[in-house]
Amino acid sequence: MGVVEGDTLSQTPTYDACIIGSGAAGGVVAKELCEGGAKVIMLEAGREVPPGKFLSHKWPYELPYRGLRGEKQAPFYQGGVSTSIRYEDCDSVSVDRIRVLGGRTVHWNAVVLRYAQRDFKGWSADGIEEDWPLTYDELEPYYERIEQMIGVCGQDDGLEIVPAGKHYLPPLPWRCSEHILHRATNGMGIPLISVRKAVLTTVYDSRPPCHYCGHCMSGCDVGALFNSAVAMLPKAQRTGNFTLRQNALAREILVDREGLARGVSFVDTQAKREQEVKARVVVVCCATVESARLLLNSRSPRHPNGLANSNGVVGR
């Protein structure tokens, strides 16, 4: 997938964009920029685990610890990432951290509900928090576009609290327990609706449909579950504009004298060497903890508290 290894990066020109992280955001941004003609390099702290190597359908007796909790997901958490945070001044926070090509889209429950009108008006509607600077109507076209891009199953249930789009795949069929629950809730006037998920229920975008094995959280080895590494990055690769660097842990976003991003310093976790990549634009897509870490590490005379942290609340 246009992989660059070792010191060959030092010979490359300045990229139009450097994307840090290969998950839901990073994969979509890479596809869109590459298809638009931009030269893009992606830094991923982990490495690819091909679907054929997933442990989703392994029997417990085939695994070293007989299916101990989390054992099937272990290949996605490389380098001890899930245990490497030290909590010295605060209580621990349960945040899923993952290092693998595709990020957290490699194994997730794939529920993709839209925010409703009311969700954008927390202060106006309920007197809590703040109103968003955006409205549902402004975001609606983008909801529609991304749902078509990744493939979402479901239907319009006519409920204001779960606004619907126009282009859903057929909903997932109900299980026996859900039919029983529906009989009960129907008698009480409570609607029971099908969940909307980024799971294919029919052939879509050259990917096969779900076969209802129930192992979404262990990784989908057929590609029916939306996975950035399967559904987005190959499209970026086919443009000829995409370069992927795996085992590349971003350390700092480098800035020029004006404080604008000019590249990224990263650590090659295999060679144990620090390297730099030059880019006109840097896109941070490395999830909650890593994005905050990276911004706080990116201190400079223009940004003494780290990038995007003039208010001092990044990471708090």
Report yes or no on 23 lying in a domain.
Answer: yes
Residue with tokens 């969700």: 119
Which pLDDT value is given to residue 117?
94
Question: Both tokens of residue 87?
Answer: 């909590």
What's the pLDDT score for residue 186? 92
At which of 137, 164, 198 does a domain end?
A: 198
pLDDT, tens only, 27-81: 999 999 999 999 999 999 999 999 888 888 888 888 888 877 778 888 888 766 6
Check whether residue 227 and residue 102 sit in a common domain: yes
Reduced to 3 states, what is the DSSP secondary structure of residue 6? helix
| Pair (2, 127) in one structural domain | no
Is the backbone of residue 96 left (phi > 0), alpha (psi -120 to 50) or beta? beta
The verdict on residue 274 lying in a domain is: yes
CA distance 41 to 282: 10
Q: The CATH number of the domain where 80 resides is what?
A: 3.50.50.60
Residue 280 domain boundaries: 1-109+222-316
Tell me the H-state helices in the chain: 24-35, 122-126, 136-150, 176-187, 228-231, 233-238, 287-297
Residue 52 inside a domain? The answer is: yes
Residues 6+ apart with CB under 8 A from 158: 164
The span from the CA of 81 to the CA of 68, in Å, is 18
- The CB density around residue 294, as the number of other CB atoms within 10 Å, is 24
Structure confidence by residue, pLDDT tens digits, 74-122: 888 876 666 555 656 666 666 677 899 999 999 999 999 999 999 999 9
The answer, yes or no, to whether residue 8 has pLDDT greater than 60, is: no
> For position 143, what pLDDT does the model report?
98
pLDDT in tens, 183-194: 999 999 999 999
Residue 3, pLDDT score = 53
Contact 266, 274 (CB under 8 A): yes
Q: How is residue 171 annotated by DSSP?
A: P
Residues 268-299: pLDDT tens digits? 999 999 999 999 999 999 998 899 999 999 99
pLDDT bucket at 11, cuts 50 / 70 / 90: low
Chain mean pLDDT for the chain? 91
Q: What is the mean pLDDT of residues 163-191?
A: 94
188 domain-assigned: yes
**pLDDT tens digits along 110-152:** 999 999 999 999 999 999 989 999 999 999 999 999 999 999 9
In a domain, 204, yes or no: no
Average pLDDT (162-191) is 94
Q: Give residue for tokens 């192992």.
A: 215
Any domain includes 214: no
Shared-domain flag, residues 56 and 187: no
- Quick check: 195 and 202 in contact, CB under 8 A? no
Q: Is the pLDDT of residue 156 over 90?
A: yes
> How far apart are the C-alpha atoms of 210 and 187, rounded to whole Å?
31
Query: What pLDDT is attached to residue 90?
Result: 62
Q: Which residue is associated with the tokens 């299980």? A: 175
Strand order of the β-sheet with 248-255 is: 242-245, 40-43, 15-20, 273-284, 261-268, 248-255
Cβ–Cβ under 8 Å, residues 284 and 266: no
96/121 same-domain check: no
For 6-121, where are the alpha helices, taking DSSP H only? 24-35
Domain identity same for 105 and 2: yes
Whether residue 6 has pLDDT greater than 50: no
